[in-house]
Structure 1
Amino acid sequence: MSHNRRVLTWDAGHRLDLRATLAPLRRGTGDPAHRADGERHWRACLTPDGPGTLAMSAAGSVVTAHAWGPGADWLLERVPAMLGRDDDWSTLDVSTVPVLHETLRRRPGMRLVRTGLVLDALVPAILEQKVTGVEARRAWRLLLYRFGGVAPGPGPELRVPPSPQQLLDLPGWEWHRLGVDLKRQRAIRAAALHSRRLEECAAMTPADAAARLQLVPGIGVWTAAETTQRALGDPDAVSVGDYHLKNMIVHLLTGRARGTDDEMLALLAAWPGQRQRVMRLAERTGIGAPRFGPKFRYTDIRAI
């Protein structure tokens, strides 16, 4: 495959933390579509122009991006938006929460990622519905290794996610081999069937995009929020229904070990329009809710 590449240099105007900014895109350390090679971050994806590979590194405020494949130009054109060019944190006031304030002061280079690719964010989000992270990440890895394509360029064994048609063509028994139950299979097929309309969400407001996403059977509030966070850089998206998130936020802001979605939303109401920024900042503190009892054990449906 040709290794012809395109190059872009962009000055963000501020120190940029690539690792933190791109972290939501990586589905575990073994994600075949993402690799970190020292200070260079690799990403493979399926663009409207075809498969593409993107490699980015940052030195202070300056980002150098290399891209390969039919989707190279499409990817490079969107690097500034992807890395938060339009993501303005200047009005975020977390001074009432010392740990958030100090984290933002000490580590100011994170921005909300915005890929402009809806299905790229939606499919792995569906795989994460109502299962453990271990199960979801394994299914994603197997899906890309078995049915994805080899990424263009010299990247470190990257895989491009399957196209909508490839997802539609996968028989049920193959999904079963991946460990994906019938409910998630149906949701992915429905998303693939309506992929053209769903990709239009990238040009919508986050609210309109979330509403359209939830018209698809099997896509609810949580999955829509997980998608708009990544594809649109939605600064206010909240993943209501997340098993861990509500406990993390309630514990961080009140000290209580456990909380509910309603309690989380009430606490986050102090930052209207910026709740996703607050949650990303909360994750950066490294403070999680206390864990009680034995670790959850999952059932491998592939053996059923």
Structure 2
Amino acid sequence: MVFGSLQRGAHDPTHRRIGDGCLRASLTPQGPVLIKINPAAGGVHARAWGEGADWALEQLPALLGEADDPTGFRPRHPVLVEAARRYPQLRIGRTELAFEALAPSIIEQKVTGLEAYGAFRRLVTRYGEPAPGPAQDPASAAYGMRVPPTPRAWATIPSWQFLQLGLESNRSRTLVSAARRAAAIDRLVTRPAADADRGLRSLPGVGPWTSAEVRQRSHGDPDAWSIGDYHVGKDICWALTAEVLDDAAAEELLEPYRGHRFRVQTLLGLMGLHRPRRAPRMTLPTHTPYATRGRS
């Protein structure tokens, strides 16, 4: 469950599924790391490579949700009662890496997932470094994985290169501006989620949706529901009322679960409860070279 929220599309070069386990490439405060996580009897088995290996292994319990406390969550709606029964093991993990979560969240602003995932993949492949350990072994399942670009690398990508790889000027400016403040952004993981929200939203181009997407991952914030998302609010309303309503209605429905609104969103997602897609799908824009070539 943790892995699914971190992977940015099926071809994310920083994450890869291997059977029941996963591989994750990351840039920790101690340096790059590749960590392999597999379920084991009564827990998990993990192995890590790279300068950030010790940090990643020490941080692993938090990543897996050890600090998450669902005891205050009291499902009332029958759908949520059933979801909580089916997924009693759900825990919301935290990466403790705020800028790592912010960069792809900016890339995902106001575009389709297909476009965003493609742009992220191309940018990481071009500007990220090869992940350590088995990621450099052609015989390994991890071969070809990449560590996300450093903040310095993000900040020095030319605007024309962003555009060529699928990111138009508004989002690329926001990303470069954030990269220049990466150290301060990463310090937000030591602050309560409400303070982190204010800090993130003080950044140019970062609003409630982007802040929530970051805090879900960096802080494991169980209340940071994806307000402003094209689908999430409508899907929550559909799951709980069988009507397609807006974010204001979703907020009202979620209010009894304040403190656990992202937990509700996650449980409904695990149940596969999405509104019927009768309306026309969002189309890929044609303002980037990759979009006009039909690439993703």
CA contact (8 A) 2:79 2:240 kept: no
Q: Deviations over 1:62-112 (max 9, x none)?
A: 111111000001111100111111112233221x32222222212222211
Determine if the alignment matches structure 1 residue 93 to structure 2 residue 74.
yes
Check if 1:66 corresponds to 2:47.
yes
Partner of 2:128: 148
CA–CA distance in structure 2, aligned partners of residues 51 and 293 of structure 1:
43
Q: Percent identity?
A: 41
AA matched with 2:216: Q
Tell me by how many angstroms 1:60 deviates. 4.5
Whether 2:259 is the aligned partner of 1:279: answer no
The answer as to whether partners of 2:155 and 2:179 remain within 8 angstroms in 1 is yes
Alignment deviations for residues 128-166 of structure 1 (CA, whole Å, 9 cap, x no partner): 000000000000100111111100011412100100111
Q: Is the aligned partner of 1:127 residue 2:107?
A: yes
The list of structure 1 runs, each at least 4 consecutive aligned residues, that deviate by more than 3 angstroms after superposition, is none
Q: CA deviation at 1:302?
A: 2.6
Q: TM-score, normalised on structure 1?
A: 0.90
* Alignment-derived partner of residue 77 in structure 1: 58
In structure 2, how many angstroms separate the alpha carbons of the residues matched to 1:278 and 1:127?
25
> Aligned residue for 2:248?
262
Give, as a single letter, the amino acid of the residue that structure 2 aligns with 1:228.
Answer: R
**8 Å contact 1:44–1:54 — kept in the other structure?**
yes
Paired residue for 1:288, among 274, 284, 289?
A: 274
Q: How does 1:45-64 map to 2 (within 5 A)?
A: 45-64=26-45
- Structure 1's unaligned 5+ residue stretches are 1-19
Structure 2 length as normaliser, TM-score? 0.93
Q: What is the CA distance between 1:295 and its match in structure 2?
A: 2.3
Q: Which amino acid letter does the alignment assign opposite residue 82 of structure 1?
A: L
**Equivalent position of 2:211 in the other structure:** 224
Q: Is the 8 A contact 1:250 1:267 kept in 2?
A: yes
**Contact 1:22 1:113 (8 Å CA) reproduced:** no
Structure 2 residues without counterparts, runs of 5 or longer: 136-141
Q: Give how far 1:261 is off.
A: 1.1
In structure 1, C-alpha distance between the alignment counterparts of 2:238 and 2:225, rounded to whole Å = 17
Deviation at 1:175, TM superposition (A): 0.1
The answer to whether the Cα contact below 8 Å between 2:216 and 2:224 also exists between their aligned partners in 1 is yes
* Corresponding residue number in structure 1 for 2:181: 194
Contact 2:2 2:63 in 1 (8 A): no
1:180-238 C-alpha deviation (Å, 9 max, x unpaired): 01110111011101011000011110010010111110111110010000000011112
